[in-house]
Copies of this chain bind each other. A is one copy, B any other.
Amino acid sequence: MEWIKEEWMEEVSKSTSEFAESVAIVTVKQGDKLNAMTAAWTVPVSHRPALVVVHIAPQRLTHDMIVEAKEFGLSILADDQMELSQHAGTVSGRKVDKFASGILKPKQPKVIQTPVLEGCAATMECKLEKAISMGDHTIFVGRVLALERDLTKKPLILHRGTYYKLGESVGKYY
């Protein structure tokens, strides 16, 4: 069967960039240590209760910090915040304090201990409901305990390795 050949698997692995997603920064605080990472593999999973998923690789520092802290912040970046995505996505919290440069500005949380970020399209404070190992990532399921949204801002979009702003509106759902 052709599809099990290695070059075919290489081709199939491109499926991951075929989706388009808003870009989030996941924050997590453990004791005095605050960390952040960029995550695009994040969507809702339930209306009631309000649950969201974010998919994180086990080698990321954020991964183990969420397991320990049992909570995380999810900040949906606005389309003028590409710099935050690049910053939180290119260095490791093991080597540097990602908040030291001032690019990421923590915002006081309402319910959890972990700050979310300033200037975003939306921020969610999540309690960890479940962590499910799946392939080379972990599905973290968070229950949204607090939500803030800025309706004057539009989200940054990632598709096929390129960042976009939202363009022309073409209709309403239903």
Contact = CB atoms under 8 A, between A and B. Distances in A.
A78 to B, nearest CB: 11
Given A19-B42, A21-B20, A155-B20, A168 B167 contact: yes
Interface of A is mostly: strand
B43 A42 contact: yes
A136 B47 contact: yes
Contact of A149 (B18, B110, B132, B169): B18
Contact of A159 (B82, B132, B135, B155): B155
Given A46-B137, A139-B53, A15 B165 contact: no
A159 B165 contact: no
Interface of A: 1, 3, 9, 11-16, 18-22, 40-53, 55, 76, 79, 82, 85-86, 89-90, 110-111, 121-122, 124, 130, 132, 134-137, 139, 141, 144-147, 149, 154-159, 161-174
Contacts of A141: 134
Contacts of A124: 15, 18
A43 B145 CA distance: 23
